[in-house]
């Protein structure tokens, strides 16, 4: 046990040393207005290349991603049905679905699922 702890500590120290050394040695770039501006065949750009991003779209995408991951957590429940007892399978799946539905209701009540107000 002590050997495992010692090797873990040495590994962590080596990793931290390499990260600190890399940050000191790394090339520092100087960013100016010309480097950050978009290039359009040598001409000045007509408009801004930075379009405003819809925060509402980002929120909907994050909610979709969360529920997509939760659906993938639901899929193994079908394969475990024959291995476990009926009570534990029913309790686990019902509890998981209730947590999902409470989260969905909370997001719906907060108005996070409406695209335009």
Summarize pLDDT for 96-106 with one digit per residue, the tens: 889 888 988 98
Q: Is residue 16 part of a domain?
A: no
Q: Is position 7 within any domain?
A: no
C-alpha to C-alpha distance for 54 and 60, rounded to whole angstroms: 10
Q: pLDDT value at position 40?
A: 59
Asked whether residue 2 is domain-assigned, the answer is no
Prediction pTM value: 0.49
Q: Tell whether 17 is covered by a domain.
A: no
Considering the domain boundaries, does residue 114 fall inside one?
yes
What's the domain range around 64?
A: 54-117
Q: State the total domains in the chain.
A: 1
Alpha carbons 97 and 67: distance in angstroms, whole number: 11
Structure tokens at 14: 């080596």
Report in angstroms the alpha-carbon separations of 94 from 11, 86, 98: 43, 12, 6
CA distance 58 to 106: 18
Say yes or no to pLDDT of 12 above 90. yes
3-state class of 30 per DSSP? coil
Would residue 18 count as lying in a domain? no
Do the domain assignments include residue 99? Answer: yes
Residue whose token pair is 């957590």:
73
């Amino acid at each position: 046990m002590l050997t495992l702890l010692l090797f873990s500590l040495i590994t962590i120290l080596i990793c931290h040393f390499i990260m600190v050394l890399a940050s000191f040695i790394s090339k520092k770039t100087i960013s100016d207005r010309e480097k950050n501006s978009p290039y359009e065949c040598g001409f000045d750009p007509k408009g801004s290349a930075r379009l405003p991003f819809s925060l509402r779209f980002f929120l909907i995408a994050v909610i979709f991603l969360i529920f997509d991951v939760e659906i993938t957590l639901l899929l193994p429940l079908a394969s475990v049905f024959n291995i476990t007892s009926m009570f534990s399978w029913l309790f686990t799946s019902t509890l998981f679905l209730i947590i999902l539905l409470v989260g969905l209701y909370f997001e719906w009540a907060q108005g996070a699922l409406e695209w335009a107000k």
